[in-house]
Amino acid sequence: MPCPFFEPQRIASAAHPPGGRLPLIDEYEGLCHAASEPVAAPDSASFRWCNHGNSKGCCQHFPTDEKRSCLRYDVIEREDRSLRVLCIEEQAYAPLRWYRVQYICGEERLEPEVEDFCIRSQVIAFCRSYLARFPVLAAHSG
């Protein structure tokens, strides 16, 4: 459940050893959008707070008046050229709001378009990592 203010940009070059599935499947480096200007997410916080979320009250950059504490993504349907993703915004470990988006493979396009820049970036990063781990299988002939 990544932080709602985290913009993943690339898979982390010095990723932590795998210990279960990460919220975006891979560990990402990126930008923190919690302040008025985006800044590089600090190495000391990136793994624990940016990639894992629930950082309200723990990360010094997290706005105190923000309701969302983290975001969660899950593939709920897979087709040949798209993934349907369930997006859940959480507040204090409970669902606050949820919606579905469709990721169009190859185009990196979302339907409907997601206006929140960080969420959009996270959904795309999640889908890229998902497809890298679980490539589309060739259709069965018969």
Query: From first to last of its 142 residues, what are the pLDDT tens digits of the chain?
Result: 788 999 999 998 876 666 667 899 999 999 999 988 999 988 777 888 888 877 777 788 888 888 888 899 999 999 989 999 999 998 888 898 999 999 999 899 999 999 999 999 999 999 999 999 988 654 444 4
Asked if the structure places residue 83 within a domain, the reply is yes
* CA 6 vs CA 66, 131, 134: distances in Å: 14, 21, 24
Q: Is residue 140 part of a domain?
A: no
pLDDT of amino acid 64: 83
Q: Which domain holds residue 31?
A: 6-133
44 contact partners, CB below 8 Å, separation of at least 6: none
Q: Is residue 141 part of a domain?
A: no
Q: Compute the distance between CA of residue 70 and CA of residue 89 in angstroms, rounded to an integer.
A: 6
CA separation for the pair 53, 46 (Å, rounded): 10
Query: In the chain, how many domains are there?
Result: 1
pLDDT of residue 38: 94
- For residue 62, the SS3 value is coil
Query: Token match 């970036």: residue?
Result: 121
What is the CB neighbour count within 10 angstroms for residue 88?
Answer: 16
Residue 138 belongs to some domain of the structure = no
